[in-house]
């Protein structure tokens, strides 16, 4: 791969190859030897804990040299564009950038170059607005695959703030491609029937909770709700009652069912806090897997761009 920006670019085979590679890294497979240095920078224009730190961990484990980049103190604050920022880093010698940005599809400006533009850099998307979050989706798929060993006909319930969720978008696109059966639940104002209807069926949580294999809880993204009339009076207790993972719902789950959440969690809203580390939860496993999956993703781009002497 030259870049890793969305899930649409991947085939089912690509996904399985990346999962196997990430599993091998997790099992202790040696990292490829770089014959030349590779420089990367992580540009996080939106806050992050796990994506940022696990990309950096993955980069260091692969032997990449990480060039620190603090978006708040960069010349972006003086109005420099993302393209000019990337052009600058490329000129300095950065080979790869991992970028999180609030603008959907921000990466198109870096990929669809005009004839007069010359940007030679691998772009890895760490989340674009409500668009895509490919590394989260890949680590979610790795986590599901570890438990079940397949995707076809798995019943996956995605619950919550679907409209604003790049995690949900990335996952529903790929899970459908992989043959999973998708169900969606949550408030109607976060459900776009035209968009999500092509991937699965809207249900009430309690209609299917005892039948599904995977429950994917989504974070209520308060920072993306500004000005939305329907959520002015958002009631956390009501949300938890209607859609949250609580003891009653946990007890109804199949023995083999698992619960995912991309984090950060609003404890007591999407998920009752004392159940976050319960036996059916894969919240911590997801974060562990994130490092190994990001290693696999970075390696695929290193090989695609023949960086560090890899092919």
User: What residues form the annotated binding site for L-aspartate?
Assistant: 78, 166, 219
Query: Helical H runs in 93-226?
Result: 108-111, 134-148, 166-177, 193-196, 205-208
Nearer to ligand CP, 17 or 104 (CB): 104
- As measured in angstroms, the least distance from the Cβ of 290 to ligand CP is 8
Nearer to ligand CP, 160 or 308 (CB): 160
Q: Strand 214-217 vs strand 258-260: parallel, antiparallel, or unpaired?
A: parallel
- As measured in angstroms, the least distance from the Cβ of 217 to ligand CP is 12
- As measured in angstroms, the least distance from the Cβ of 204 to ligand CP is 26
Which residues here bind ligand CP, judged by CB under 6 A?
48-52, 127, 136, 262-264
For the residues of 244-304, what is the DSSP string, one character each? -B-HHHHHHS-TT-EEE--S---BTTTB-GGGTTSTTB-HHHHHHHHHHHHHHHHHHHHHH
Q: List Cβ neighbours of 64 (8 Å cut-off, separation of 6 or more).
A: 34, 38, 39, 40, 96, 298, 308
The annotation places the binding site for carbamoyl phosphate at 50-51, 100, 133, 136, 263-264
Nearer to ligand CP, 181 or 286 (CB): 286
- As measured in angstroms, the least distance from the Cβ of 152 to ligand CP is 26
Nearer to ligand CP, 249 or 294 (CB): 294
Nearer to ligand CP, 64 or 216 (CB): 216
- As measured in angstroms, the least distance from the Cβ of 50 to ligand CP is 4
- Strand partners for 259: 215, 281
Phi, psi of 185 (to 5 degrees): -140, 155
d(CA 198, CA 24): 34
The annotation places the binding site at 50-51, 78, 100, 133, 136, 166, 219, 263-264
């Amino acid at each position: 791969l030259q870049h890793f920006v969305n899930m649409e670019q991947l085939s089912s085979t690509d996904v399985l190859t990346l999962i196997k590679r990430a599993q091998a890294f997790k099992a202790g497979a040696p990292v490829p030897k770089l014959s030349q240095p590779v420089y990367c920078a992580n540009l996080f224009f939106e806050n992050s804990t796990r994506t940022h730190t696990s990309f950096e961990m993955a980069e260091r484990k692969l032997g990449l040299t990480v060039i620190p980049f603090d978006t708040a103190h960069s010349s972006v604050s003086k109005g420099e564009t993302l393209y000019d920022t990337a052009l600058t880093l490329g000129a300095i010698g950065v080979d790869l950038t991992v970028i999180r940005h609030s603008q959907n599809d921000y990466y198109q400006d870096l990929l669809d170059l005009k004839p007069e533009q010359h940007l030679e850099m691998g772009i890895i998307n760490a989340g674009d607005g409500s668009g895509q979050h490919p590394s989260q989706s890949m680590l979610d798929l790795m986590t599901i695959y570890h438990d079940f060993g397949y995707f076809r006909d798995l019943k996956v319930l995605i619950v919550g703030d679907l409209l604003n969720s790049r995690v949900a978008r990335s996952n529903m696109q790929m899970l459908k491609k992989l043959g999973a059966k998708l169900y969606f639940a949550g408030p109607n104002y976060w459900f776009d029937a035209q968009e999500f209807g092509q991937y699965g069926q809207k249900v009430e949580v309690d209609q299917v909770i005892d039948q599904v294999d995977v429950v994917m809880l989504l974070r209520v993204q308060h920072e993306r709700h500004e000005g939305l009339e329907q959520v002015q009076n958002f009631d956390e207790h009501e949300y938890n009652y209607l859609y949250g993972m609580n003891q009653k719902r946990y007890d109804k789950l199949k023995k083999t069912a698992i619960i995912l959440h991309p984090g950060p969690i609003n404890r007591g809203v999407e998920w009752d806090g004392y159940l976050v580390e319960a036996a059916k939860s894969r919240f911590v496993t997801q974060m562990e897997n994130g490092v190994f999956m990001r290693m696999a993703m970075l390696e695929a781009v290193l090989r695609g761009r023949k960086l560090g002497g890899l092919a």
